Amino acid sequence: MSSWETAVTIVGLALITLFTRSFFLYPDQDLSMPGWLRRGLRYAPLAALVAVIAPEVLMTHGHLIETLKDARLPATVAAGAYYFWRRDILGTIVTGMAVLLPLRLGLGW
Tens-place pLDDT, residues 20-64: 888 878 777 877 889 999 999 999 998 998 999 899 899 988 899
Q: In the chain, how many H helices and how many E strands?
A: 5, 2
Percent of the chain with pLDDT over 90: 64
State the first-to-last Cα distance of the chain, in angstroms, to the nearest integer: 45
| Domain limits, the chain | 30-106
CA pair distance 1, 86, nearest whole angstrom: 54
Give the per-residue pLDDT at 42: 92
Overall size of the chain counted in residues: 109
Mean pLDDT, range 82-93, rounded to an integer: 94
Tens digit of each residue's pLDDT (9 = 90 or more) over 94-107? 999 999 999 999 88
CA pair distance 75, 81, nearest whole angstrom: 10
Give the per-residue pLDDT at 28: 79
Phi, psi dihedrals of residue 47, rounded to the nearest 5°: -65, -40
Contact yes or no for 76/95 (Cβ under 8 A): no
Amino acid at 46: L
Give the per-residue pLDDT at 81: 97
| Residue with the larger pLDDT of the pair 61 and 11 | 11
